[in-house]
C-alpha cells in the first residue's frame, strides 16, 4: 500500500488516496471539537486510541455478520478502508436518554428507553446537520427504501452486538452515531466507532467515559478514552 494525495480533512480524521483506487487511508487526529465546531481543543493520544477502538469494534462486528469499510490497521493512527460512495446521513441509535434528547423529550438524563430509537440527521455543515425522517430522505434522494431498511437493520444489529460486548466490560452504551456508504452496490458501515461518536457510561457509577467529558469540561478526558480501550482489550 502506497500513501497518496490527501483527499479530505475533517474534524477528527484525514483521508488519503492509495495506489489502489478502491482503498483509502484514514489518519486519526488528536483534534477535538464540540458544539458543531464552536469548541476546539486537543485530546492527547485520542487518534491512536480511536483507531484501536474502531478497529476492535469493526472486527467484532464482521465476525457477527455486520460488514464495514474496515480492511486493516496499518499504523498506530492509520487504518486502510474500502472507498465508499458515502450516504449523506448520520444514523443515531439511542438506548438511554442523554444529550439533545433530554430537552426534546423532557425526560431526565439516564432514563432508559423502552426500545432503541433510530434518528436520521442530514450531513450538511451549512445546515447544521438537521434531523430528517424517511420522507425527507426519499424526497432528497439520499437513499432508497431498500437501503434505509438495510441501514436500520445493520444499525440495530450493531447496537445489540456492541451492548453485549460493553456490558461484559461493565460499560453501558447510551447512544452512538453511525455512517454508511455503498461499495459495488452493497451498503457497508463506515466512519469510526469510538468515544468521539458514542456515549459510554460505567454501569455502576454512571461515570461518563466519552467525549462528553470534553464537551462539558468535566476533566479526565484522556483518562476516559484510555479506560474504554483498556476495558475492551484487557
pLDDT tens per residue across span 52-92: 999 999 999 999 999 999 999 999 999 999 999 999 999 99
pTM of the entire predicted model = 0.95
Average pLDDT of the chain? 96
Q: Which segments of the chain belong to CATH 3.30.200.20?
A: 3-82
**What residues contact residue 174 under an 8 Å CB cut-off, 6+ apart?**
94, 95, 96, 98, 198, 199, 200, 201
Residue 206 has what pLDDT?
97
- Domain 85-220, second-level architecture: 2-Layer Sandwich (3.30)
CA pair distance 108, 123, nearest whole angstrom: 28
How many H-runs (helices) and E-runs (strands) does the chain carry? 6, 14
The three-class DSSP label of residue 15 is: strand
Q: If 0-12 CB within 10 Å is exposed, 13-18 middle and 19+ buried, where does residue 33 land?
A: middle
Asked whether the beta carbons of 199 and 99 are under 8 A apart, the reply is yes
Residue 37 has what pLDDT?
63
| Confidence band, pLDDT 50/70/90 cuts, at residue 40 | confident
Fold of 3-82: Phosphorylase Kinase; domain 1 (3.30.200)
Q: What is the CA radius of gyration of the chain?
A: 17
Q: Report pLDDT digits (tens) over 105-156.
A: 999 999 999 999 999 999 998 999 999 999 999 999 999 999 999 999 999 9
Residue 39 has what pLDDT?
79
Asked whether the beta carbons of 8 and 15 are under 8 A apart, the reply is yes
H-run or E-run covering 51: helix 46-63
The three-class DSSP label of residue 80 is: strand
Residue 7 has pLDDT above 90, yes or no: yes
Determine how many CB atoms are found less than 10 A away from the CB of residue 68. 26
Residue 180 has what pLDDT?
98
Q: Which segments of the chain belong to CATH 3.30.470.20?
A: 85-220
Amino acid at each position: 500500500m502506497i500513501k497518496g494525495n490527501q483527499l479530505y480533512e475533517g474534524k477528527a480524521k484525514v483521508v488519503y488516496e492509495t495506489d489502489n483506487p478502491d482503498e483509502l487511508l484514514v489518519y486519526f487526529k488528536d483534534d477535538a471539537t464540540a458544539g458543531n465546531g464552536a469548541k476546539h481543543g486537543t485530546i492527547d493520544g485520542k487518534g491512536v486510541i480511536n483507531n484501536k477502538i474502531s478497529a476492535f469494534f469493526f472486527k467484532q462486528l464482521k465476525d457477527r455478520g455486520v460488514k464495514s469499510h474496515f480492511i486493516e490497521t496499518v499504523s498506530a493512527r492509520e487504518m486502510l478502508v474500502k472507498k465508499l460512495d458515502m450516504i449523506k446521513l448520520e444514523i443515531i441509535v439511542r438506548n438511554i436518554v442523554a444529550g439533545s434528547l433530554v430537552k426534546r423529550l423532557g425526560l431526565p438524563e439516564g432514563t432508559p428507553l423502552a426500545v432503541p430509537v433510530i434518528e436520521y440527521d442530514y450531513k450538511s455543515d451549512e445546515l447544521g446537520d438537521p434531523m430528517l425522517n424517511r420522507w425527507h430522505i426519499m424526497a432528497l434522494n439520499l437513499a432508497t427504501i431498500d437501503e434505509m431498511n438495510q441501514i436500520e437493520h445493520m444499525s440495530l444489529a450493531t447496537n445489540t452486538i456492541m451492548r453485549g460486548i460493553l456490558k461484559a466490560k461493565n460499560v453501558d452504551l447510551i447512544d452512538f452515531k453511525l455512517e454508511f456508504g455503498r461499495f459495488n452496490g452493497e451498503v457497508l458501515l463506515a466512519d469510526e466507532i469510538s468515544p468521539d461518536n458514542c456515549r459510554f457510561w460505567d454501569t455502576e457509577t454512571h461515570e461518563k467515559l466519552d467525549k462528553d467529558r470534553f464537551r462539558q469540561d468535566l476533566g479526565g478526558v484522556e483518562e476516559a478514552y484510555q479506560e474504554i480501550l483498556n476495558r475492551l482489550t484487557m
